Amino acid sequence: MTTGARASMRDRIANWLQQNRQRMSEVAVGLGIPDSATMAVPVVEFGPDQSSTGRLEDRAVSPYLVHQVELEIACAGEPIHGDRSVTLARAITDQAGAGIRFFTFLAPATMSQRVQDPSVLGDLDDPDPVVFALALLDLALAEYLRSIHTLEGDHDEALRVADELLAFVAGSTLTTLVSVPVAGLATSVPSLESGPVLIRHLSPEEGGQLGGATGTSSSPAPRGRISGGHSIGGPANVM
């Protein structure tokens, strides 16, 4: 894909995300959903003696995430993908590499319920790649809605998500990542890396997710995280 073609496709995807976000925003306003939301996030601080202290901290999060169930109920039965979405999905498949059929576990019949005219998908026993492109657009929209903290859109964020989708579908390889929390690891440096493997201390948020957010403990607490992956041309993008 040329630089100009990629930029054009990125803009198309970003605009699609923005238009669907606008539709969801109108539904949210109709339901009386506030423009902002917070969520209590468990945070654990680890001491040098392996003790831990936990607490809950309020963090700004996407109102689309907090009110996801209400929005899904309000939009139930309304296909998300119209002709414009199918046209965009077909354009995406033209640039597709290894990523386009990654989601083969998705039931084509389920996707057929999300388009206005299921006949455009062809034989569901041998689905058109557009089925998988539409599924990727669904995932991109969910990622975009989770990443903004108000009902209003953020075009820069929409462009970021569009870039990630394009990098995925146009790539010649796929990278997988496995993360395993390891208890009792205490290193003298923040992280250790060897090839595609990274060992690092848990963040306070990760510790909160694993160990709970309240109370103290003198038992060994998780102190690190080991991740493995494989990527052609360098180490995996591990966390």
pLDDT band per the 50, 70, 90 thresholds, residue 100: low
| pLDDT (average), residues 188-217 | 72
Mean pLDDT of 128-149: 87
Cα→Cα distances 59→46, 63, 115, 142, 182, Å: 20, 12, 36, 19, 27
Residue 220 predicted with pLDDT over 60: no
Tell me which H or E stretch contains 74.
Answer: helix 68-74
CB 135 within 8 A of CB 104: no
Q: Is the pLDDT of residue 79 over 80?
A: no
Q: Which tops the pLDDT comparison, 97 or 170?
A: 170
67-91: average pLDDT? 84
Residue 217: strand, helix, or coil: strand
More confident residue, 207 or 235: 207
pLDDT of residue 50: 65
pLDDT digit string, tens, across residues 25-63: 999 999 999 999 998 888 887 776 667 788 888 889 899
- Which residue do the tokens 């019949």 mark? 109
The pLDDT-based confidence of 224 (bands split at 50, 70, 90) is very low
Overall pTM surpassing 0.85 (yes/no): no
- Give the residue extent of every domain in the chain: 3-31+67-170, 176-230
The H-assigned helical ranges of 95-186 are: 108-112, 130-147, 155-170
Phi (first) and psi of residue 231, to 5 degrees:
-145, 135
